[in-house]
Amino acid sequence: MFTMKPMTGAIISMLIICDRYIISNARGFLDRPIDSSGTPLVPYGMFSNGNSGKSPLVAATYYFNPSSASVSANRPEGVYVSDTNPLNGNSAISGDRTDDNVCSAPDGRKGTCYEASECVRRGGMPMGRCSDSYSGGGKNSGAVCCLFDVSCGETAAEKFIYFRNPGFPETYDKSRICRTKIGKISPDICQLKLEFRTFDIGKPTEGNCSQDIFTISGQNENHIIPKICGLNNGQHYYIGVDESGVVSLHLMMLGSYRRRFDVLITQIPCQSENSAPPHCLQYYSGTHGVMKSFNYDYSEDELSSDRNEGYPNDVDYMMCIRKEPGFCSITYELSSDADGTLPFAIGSGAEHITGFSAQWPVVAECRDDFIVIGGMRLCSGVGKLNVENTELADNGLQKLTNRQENGFGNASSVHRTVMTDTTPGPFQIRFVSNNAKNARGFHIGYRQNPCK
């Protein structure tokens, strides 16, 4: 444990003198090499339970007891947030914290500006100083960029929280039930956004998350969140919490697997322009982008088979895209890479295509799994496909020509466009799977078209 000693005038003077030293070390940290996993090397003792050594950045920012071990050692048992945290039964914080006290740490992560003593009291991890313009104090106020990490068995209620596996950035390969609780910082918080910066847990077997499984509870009762597993780097969730106070993240880990996860949790105020429409699990903005099913990717350095590729069974969720100003329609197309068009395989129709290589969606009854774009149900299928350009005024969809006569072969030999949607925004896509036939999934790009 370390202790905070009263900041005397001499200590404050020391902090001012060390200002250039802090900045120099922060820059030095950013210039440090990355390890083989692509994870930036971090200051010693900053993200571990090591009993010796401190980051120069932290040591220069605070006055530490020399016998202290690490920043994380000061984290109290259970709740480690403010006295007004809903997790401890007191009244919630009035109002919402503004962007004035949002900061970026030297390692690129998001944090909150607090006075040094307040950061430590909350169990935060100091990572550099905030600018002099921070509203919580005047020039040389001592405000620091405070980061909050939680792992198994820990709780927090902050604007930005990082949920990480034990020992991150190292992998974790033991069996364990890992749970953390996230409280709202204000009654005016209506959504939590979860960004899967890194998320690699046990893979599904034929669509069943039988080894590892990630679930969420405590959100709005009618906001259904799918259970997922596998490799989901870059995916995200929006969770409705306006009717709830505390959300629990559960990760069941069975057997040996080199797991690594780092999930950024951001609290979004009601009426925020960053809010997702109700019941949209995923929400995209911008004139172009990509979306893909859960566990679509797989690690190239690991043996992979059809059994553990593909989306989880029994999911049903919405993806929404904000209609940008000046744009009136959106066009979807199959994504591609250097090797050609990426596979599209959804539903039982994909079983006729070896290796999950089905590459063209068809409009069909889709008795098992399917994706819905603008009201049109799509899945994989084999058979004659010759749809000429046709405008469907009733639902605003335009199906573009696919000139292949039989099957759907290789979509790279034709235009990869699936369809254009002119329905009112936000644009919506729904994906549904049962447990009859798991398949690789979808990887679809979109581009919004300017109004004419």
Domain assignment of residue 210, yes or no: no
Indicate the burial class of 192 (C-beta count within 10 angstroms; 0-12, 13-18, 19 or more): buried
**212-240 residue pLDDT tens:** 999 999 999 999 999 999 999 999 999 99
Domain endpoint, select from 147, 180, 196: 147
Query: In whole numbers, what is the pLDDT of the chain averaged over residues?
Result: 74
Nearest to 210 by CA among 230, 196, 225, 226: 230
Domain endpoint, select from 81, 113, 147: 147
Cα gap 375→318, rounded to integer Å: 12
pLDDT at 398 over 50: no
Q: What is the pLDDT of residue 49?
A: 38
Domain assignment of residue 228, yes or no: no
Q: What is the pLDDT of residue 386?
A: 35
Domain assignment of residue 141, yes or no: yes
Domain assignment of residue 79, yes or no: yes
**81-118 residue pLDDT tens:** 333 443 443 333 333 344 668 999 999 999 999 999 99
Question: Residue 281: which pLDDT band, with cuts at 50, 70 and 90?
Answer: very high
Please report how many Cα atoms fall inside a 13 Å half-sphere around the Cα of residue 129, on the Cβ side: 26
Q: What is the pLDDT of residue 56?
A: 36
Q: Cβ distance 257 to 267 under 8 Å?
A: no
pLDDT at 147 over 60: yes
Q: What is the pLDDT of residue 425?
A: 83
Domain assignment of residue 272, yes or no: no
Domain endpoint, select from 122, 147, 172: 147
CATH of the domain at 413: 2.60.120.290
Pairing of the two strands 427-432 and 336-337: unpaired
| Domain count within the chain | 2
**3-13 residue pLDDT tens:** 444 444 444 44
**36-84 residue pLDDT tens:** 444 333 332 333 333 333 343 443 333 333 223 333 333 433 333 333 4
Domain assignment of residue 418, yes or no: yes
Domain assignment of residue 422, yes or no: yes
* One domain, residues 293 and 442: yes
| Helix boundaries (H) for 3-138 | 9-17, 19-30, 56-61, 116-121
Range of the domain at 296: 280-452
Q: What is the pLDDT of residue 135?
A: 53
Average pLDDT over residues 112-137: 84
Domain assignment of residue 305, yes or no: yes
pLDDT at 255 over 90: yes
Q: What is the pLDDT of residue 142?
A: 79
pLDDT at 344 over 70: yes
**Coil/strand/helix, residue 377:** strand
**Coil/strand/helix, residue 157:** coil
Q: What is the pLDDT of residue 452?
A: 83
